[in-house]
Amino acid sequence: MKKKEKSIGLDLTEGNISSNLLKLAVPMVLGNLLNVFYNIVDTIWIGRIVGADGIAAAAVNLPIVFTLISLASGITVAGNILVGQYYGAKDMKYLLYVSRSITTFATISIAIFVVIVYLTSESVLRLLNTPESVFDMALSYYRITIVGFPFLFYYLLVAALLRGTGDTIKPLVFLGISSVLNIILDPIFISGLGPIPAMGLDGAAYATVFSQMVSVVISVTYLKLTDSIIRVNPLRMVFDKRIIKRIIKIGAPVTVTQGIQAVGWMFTMAIVNTFNKSATAAAGIASRLDSVSFMAIIALSAAVATMSAQNIGAGKIDRVHEVYRVGLRMSVAVSTFFAIIALLFPETIARIFTDDIDVITYTKNYLQIVIPAFIILSVAFTATGVINGAGKTAVLMVFNFVGFLLVRIPLSYFLADRFGFNGIWIGMASSYLVIMILNVLYYLSNKWKVNASLVDDSVI
């Protein structure tokens, strides 16, 4: 049995740090790209078969799905950190117990939340000012998505726990199976085929839910058959007050941080919308460009967090500092590459999305101000990885509150009034600088080391 356990994951407390960071980060980047590709194909099928109303009805659900994922991310990040530390400490028996405890807490939490969200679905769509012409379609799509959300959540949970052990390959495989199946089923469920009736937009939702369910079944079966040290069987209930307190202590700030970032972007868009529709369109293009250039930075930050968690659990604090230095060099190199591309070819990039001269001009301005500022953000996110790995998520919540709400919003309003559209992006870049300074100063203070290890009181 121990031989099988050793085949699960990657020991990040030994070996070449650069190589290990890449082994963690590259599959995560590929997974993000796969997710973007799937969403694009999904939208194409809806647009071509259901039409514009289908796209609009599905779009209404995007902020809701983002909110659901934000809430789930608190639990998954907590699970990743706890598993990472216990894996690094080689406490495999307690690690199995921890993974079961996290699954129990997650199952109960998500069940309660899904029931509440489902019962309030109509009110939520009214609150979002959903157009009456697509309201019924959006409501049906919303409810199917909500009922199927636990399957997406369980994939995210499995991916986070496996990532804590250093395994990012298996989550990529599970995601690949789900995405390919979804792409195949979308046109069949939407248009119908043989005994399968045409279900319109609902078919797209059912295809997604079914594909995610298959992925979860495969992942849970894999963990069982390989005698993995990670278990996510919702029927195997394990209650532990200490672990639940840790999940809440680590996870709640993550959820709040996600909310802070969403509010910061919402207010930024509110300022953008005071200009004209070309500015709004440019901001929409900008958000897509962000997602591409941001993927590698986020993946490297997550890799640094996992490596830091394992090494903190193993008591190798000096190695954590080296992880930070190597991760910083990689992240800055990646963000600098994107910055050079954005500065050299801003109009070429903008023309990929539109031929409208005004939109191109606004998009160029964004590319030339914000994308280079990602170099600053990459420094901040490397420090974020270490701080997350130490479980100090509450500190990051405060820093994000300062940067996104206390700095970005008022400064963007002020600068937009004086410098126009570019003032918004200068305000955004300034918030990145503030967050970087706070994160790096906290990292250099070594306060993250205090009570960083969560493995001292194992009782199993």
What beta strand segments (E) does 333-402 contain?
A: none
| Domain ranges for the chain | 15-239, 252-449
pLDDT reading at 6 higher than 50: no
Q: What CA–CA distance (Å, rounded) separates 222 from 185?
A: 23
For the segment 321-350, the average pLDDT, to the nearest whole number, is: 91
Confidence band (pLDDT; 50, 70, 90) for 235? confident
* Mean pLDDT of all residues belonging to the chain: 85
Residues 81/389, Cβ–Cβ less than 8 Å: yes
**pLDDT at site 291:** 72
Confidence band (pLDDT; 50, 70, 90) for 3? very low
Closest CA to 204 of 48, 46, 41, 35: 46
**pLDDT at site 381:** 95
For residues 17 and 70, the model is more confident at: 17
For residues 269 and 374, the model is more confident at: 374
pLDDT reading at 212 higher than 80: yes
Q: What CA–CA distance (Å, rounded) separates 230 from 275?
A: 51
What tens digit of pLDDT does each residue of 362-394 get? 888 888 888 899 999 999 999 999 999 999 999
What is the phi/psi pair of residue 443, to 5°?
A: -60, -45
**pLDDT at site 439:** 96
Token pair belonging to 179: 């995405």
Q: Which residue pairs, CB below 8 angstroms and at least 24 apart, start in 315-323?
A: 315/89, 315/453, 316/13, 316/88, 317/449, 317/452, 319/13, 319/17, 320/386, 320/389, 322/17, 323/17, 323/21, 323/386
pLDDT reading at 7 higher than 50: no
For the segment 356-367, the average pLDDT, to the nearest whole number, is: 85
Confidence band (pLDDT; 50, 70, 90) for 459? very low
Token pair belonging to 285: 């293009």
User: Which residues, in sequence order, are CB contacts of 357 under 8 Å at separation 6+?
Assistant: none
**pLDDT at site 457:** 53
Could you say which DSSP state residue 378 is in? H
Q: What CA–CA distance (Å, rounded) separates 8 from 358?
A: 53
Could you say which DSSP state residue 406 is in? I
pLDDT reading at 157 higher than 80: yes
How many secondary structure helices (H) and strands (E) does the chain include? Answer: 17, 0
Token pair belonging to 436: 């970087």
In the chain, how long is the greatest CA-to-CA distance?
A: 67
What tens digit of pLDDT does each residue of 103-145 get? 888 888 888 888 988 898 888 888 767 778 878 888 898 899 8
Residues 448/399, Cβ–Cβ less than 8 Å: no
Q: What CA–CA distance (Å, rounded) separates 382 from 136?
A: 44
pLDDT reading at 354 higher than 90: no
Amino acid identity, position 220: V
For the segment 22-30, the average pLDDT, to the nearest whole number, is: 89
Could you say which DSSP state residue 9 is in? S
Residue 196 in 3-state DSSP? Answer: strand
Confidence band (pLDDT; 50, 70, 90) for 336? very high
Residues 80/158, Cβ–Cβ less than 8 Å: no
Q: What CA–CA distance (Å, rounded) separates 331 from 329?
A: 6
Amino acid identity, position 107: T
What tens digit of pLDDT does each residue of 400-423 get? 999 989 999 899 989 988 888 889
How many C-beta neighbours within 10 Å does residue 71 have?
Answer: 19
Closest CA to 282 of 180, 206, 191, 354: 354
pLDDT reading at 4 higher than 70: no
Token pair belonging to 95: 């690690």
Token pair belonging to 102: 């996290």
Q: What CA–CA distance (Å, rounded) separates 89 from 162?
A: 16
For the segment 286-297, the average pLDDT, to the nearest whole number, is: 77
Q: What CA–CA distance (Å, rounded) separates 397 from 387?
A: 11
For residues 456 and 355, the model is more confident at: 355
Q: Flag whether the pTM goes above 0.75.
A: yes
Q: What CA–CA distance (Å, rounded) separates 160 from 163?
A: 5
Amino acid identity, position 281: A
Helices (H), 165-240: 169-191, 201-225
DSSP code string of 331-379: HHHHHHHHHHHHHHSHHHHHHTT---HHHHHHHHHHHHHHHHHHHHHHH
